[in-house]
Copies of this chain bind each other. A is one copy, B any other.
Amino acid sequence: MAEDTPQLGTRERILRTASLLMQRQGYEGTGIKQVSQEAGATLGSVYHFFPGGKQALAVAAVQHADQEFADMLSASLSGEADPAKAVAACARALAGHLRDSGWVDGCPISATALETVGRAPEIEQAVAQAFQHWRDLVADTLREAGFPEDDARDLAITIINTLEGAELTAQVFKSETPLLVAGEHLARLIGSYRG
């Protein structure tokens, strides 16, 4: 675990560590003791900042990951004028990042999502908000490029879904191919609405 810059506040360090560990190990696989140790904090501090316990920590970690991923998404999407090219570039960026991490840093919240769906409503809601947030960023990009409202909304749904699935598959196969192919297919799909 990378030591975070020491001038970071304790709460922030706990949050980042929890978010990273839950990305890699999921909700059930991540212990509060492990979070406190790798964050360089004590167990008491964790419960001081997150009195709601593990669930509250997970909600905050998901929200933190939401913002981080949204920032990366925005940067990727604004790099190209053509949204089809922008989405393909985004897929390539995700593939590179995944490979650089040794195939462990995929979607920051999908493991937690799958473990808690239908079983921990507060976490589930935070996950839904994140997905909706990312969708909206994509839909906005499409709308600004001139796509009609309905097409933009539907395309945004599929774009996020497909990247999600491709990232999972890329992790399992330890290969960039699923993400790269997904990027090209999504560009093709977007292009098919242009004609």
Binding site for B on A (CB under 8 A): 24-29, 102-104, 106, 110-111, 113-115, 117-119, 124, 127-128, 131, 154-155, 157-158, 160-166, 168-169, 171-173, 177-178, 181-182, 184-185, 188-189, 192
Which 3 pairs, one residue from A and one from B, show the smallest C-beta to C-beta distance?
A165-B165, A164-B165, A28-B28
The interface residues of chain B lying within 8 Å CB-to-CB of A189 are 185, 188-189, 192
| 14 extra interface residue pairs, beta carbon distance < 8 Å, beyond A158-B181, A158-B185, A160-B169 | A25-B119, A28-B115, A104-B118, A106-B117, A111-B111, A111-B115, A113-B171, A131-B169, A154-B184, A158-B182, A161-B178, A162-B162, A165-B168, A185-B189
The verdict on A117 contacting B171 (CB below 8 Å), with A165-B166, A166-B161, A192-B192 known, is: yes
Q: Which residue of B lies closest to A117 (CB)?
A: B171
Contact B162 A161 (CB under 8 A): yes
Nearest CB in chain B to that of A157: its residue: B181
Please state if B113 and A172 are interface contacts (CB–CB under 8 Å).
yes
In the complex, A164→B114 CA distance in Å?
A: 12
Pick from A28, A102, A111, A114 the residue with the most CB of B within 10 Å: A114
Contact status A172-B124, CB under 8 Å = yes
Q: Which single residue of chain B is at the shortest CB-CB distance from A30?
A: B28
Please, which residue of chain B has its CB at the minimum distance from the CB of A109?
Answer: B172
- Find out whether the CB atom of B169 lies under 8 angstroms from the CB atom of A157: yes
Does B114 lie within 8 Å of A110, measured CB to CB? Answer: yes
A29 to chain B, nearest CB (A): 4
Cα(A100)–Cα(B147), bound, Å:
34
Which of the residues B117, B169, B178, B184 comes within 8 Å of A103, measured between beta carbons?
B117
Q: What residues on B are CB-neighbors of A184 within 8 Å?
A: 154
Pick from A26, A119, A131, A184 the residue with the most CB of B within 10 Å.
A26
